[in-house]
A and B are shown apart, each in its own frame.
Chain A
Amino acid sequence: MANRTDPAAKSIRGTNPQNLVEKILRSKIYQNTYWKEQCFGLTAETLVDKAMELDHLGGTYGGNRKPTPFMCLVMKMLQIQPEKEIVIEFIKNEDYKYVRVLGAFYLRLTGTDVDVYRYLEPLYNDYRKLRRKLADGQFTLTHVDEVIDELLTKDYSCDIALPRVKRRWNLESLGSLEPRRSALEEDFEEEEEKEDNDQPADELEEDYYRGRSPTRERERDRRRDSHRHRDRDYDRDYDRDYDRDYERERGRGRDRDRDRDRDRDRERDRDRYRLREEKDYGREREGRERDRRDRDRDRGRRRSRSRSRSRSKDRKDYDGGDYRKRHARSSASPRRHGDGHEDDEPKKKKEKKEKKEKKDDGTDHPDPEIAEANKLRAALGLKPLKV
């Protein structure tokens, strides 16, 4: 009785809304005392009171995976299915941050793609701290905008598999959404103009997050550093007064991005050169070692391979461009081109040893099963098997 969904509730994504939470976790919630005592007979209004009492968020914790009150309230919301206006009120309220996060979580689970982006993105401006309970029962510090980021980019949060939403640029290209504008836009423009004048922009901005349209990613990396006046930006977002600033941003943004791109590429090329040299040196040396081993062991199967490698072995220090390009073995860097290898001997030996160890770390084992197991272990970040 208490666990049945409201019969008037509509189905979410083709199923009973409570099925968004998977079976095992659902049964754990039903057996939880908080659910049985506090969440019995809750309505939308009384749910708000319970939500205001929340002081941490999280999934399940402990050896037997006890759900947090946050989880129970999410489940309750799925059960009673409050209307969209109520959920948006949850999100818009500024006083209680856990109520906000609760509303955001529920909307992420049940809302359409456009709604999700539209209502959750303003919450990126909320920098307040939150307490999060980890799986081992300890608390950790997080922030509202980090949680929102997790909801929008990852597909698993608080032990619930989040339903898939389309990527933002898909929606933008469809025209359902406008390109993202950070609320701290103008402040960044001033900062960047100052920066461009002072020093060359040389950040190597990695794309850590999937599914990001390029402009948004760049703005996000900057946003963490500045805490600015928020109120004015909130009103702007909610009023959605885009037109005036839209044209200006686009024009200026393009020039800015071009300069940054050029500098970034220059830096990257420099690093890439250096890395490639080191890698190629190790590989060349180690290729010769392996060639000797292989030839002794497995003549038939690897004949073609060893033949090509023996050719490389005969030509001791070949710098021939064509052959090198085909096999991509030695470095094409002008720096090491004509140098005597004498002064690089000790460095090469150390690199060779490192390279050998790295290879032994993983897939170099004769037994294919163990080699494959080692490959998996290396991918997971574990040490290789001790045979």
Chain B
Amino acid sequence: MSSNAAASSSGGAGSADSAAPRRNSKRPKYSRFTQQELPACKPILTPKWVVSAFILVSVIFIPIGVASLLASRDVVEIVDRYETECIPEPLRGDKVGFIQSAANKTCERKITVPKRMKSPIYVYYQLDNFYQNHRRYVKSRSDAQLKSLKEENETKSCDPEGTSGGKPIVPCGLIAWSLFNDTYSFSRNNQQLAVNKKDISWKSDRDGKFGKKVFPKNFQKGGLIGGGTLNESIPLNEQEDLIVWMRTAALPTFRKLYGRIEVDLQPNDIIHITLKNRYNTYSFGGKKKLVLSTTSWLGGKNDFLGIAYLTVGGLCLFLALSFTIIYLVKPRKLGDPSYLSWNRNPAGH
């Protein structure tokens, strides 16, 4: 009896089970991919791995922390807060009134160099509580106009500092309009210290974003004067103070580069600063600081990075130790089913 006959004799109506030879097998093709058998590493957090990972992290982090901290400590930084001191005592009751008046705003300051400062010494001004990152402020500029003379009428985004008397303001917008205009000059032993204001902005800004042939126009000519003015004979890409200012800060407390002093300062040098305190931070209660700082390979003075690295590294070392101790003191029997939640709670649902 051939199986052929048998198959269909029992088939009844189920002739789907045809005994005809199968030409096209539907057997899936074997490959490690489709069978999900690709070679793989299956990381498991064994005590050995955990402890080694912690040790590795601390071994890397602690030296970095030390190096960062040393770098930060290397930096000499002089900060001079002047917004109150630079207002004549009797007028301190109405600071805003003073700053908006036409009074003489020159102010003399004196600082002492605590440690030797190697050139270049960067001069920054630091503002506080100044929301350069406010959306209205950030958006209030016209990149097209800054770059190209032809597009000086592109002032749509600059409102309300887009036009003045119907004519486009170049550079337009709130950022430019509120340009910082305090100035500083330094002298040591009655000798003027030159402040180099070249190359204080990003090269990409000068080359890419600010036009060579675009000159300030109608700037600060409107009813309300904001901040500083610009020399209309210098193209925008050479107005580095403006370029620095236009690159808006991330946080309400920020520094901006003012220039570089390219001589070394010796300890106990006394620096005389003559500053013009013109910029209004009094309306919103902002501080103004003048900062002189050297840099290290890491940048300016900030211990946070080093401390953070040391902390994390130390923590990891501690954890590595604790894990080792726990593992030595109380080695756990692996695969103990009593840990299963559904065994612990037999009522289940």
Partners in one complex: no
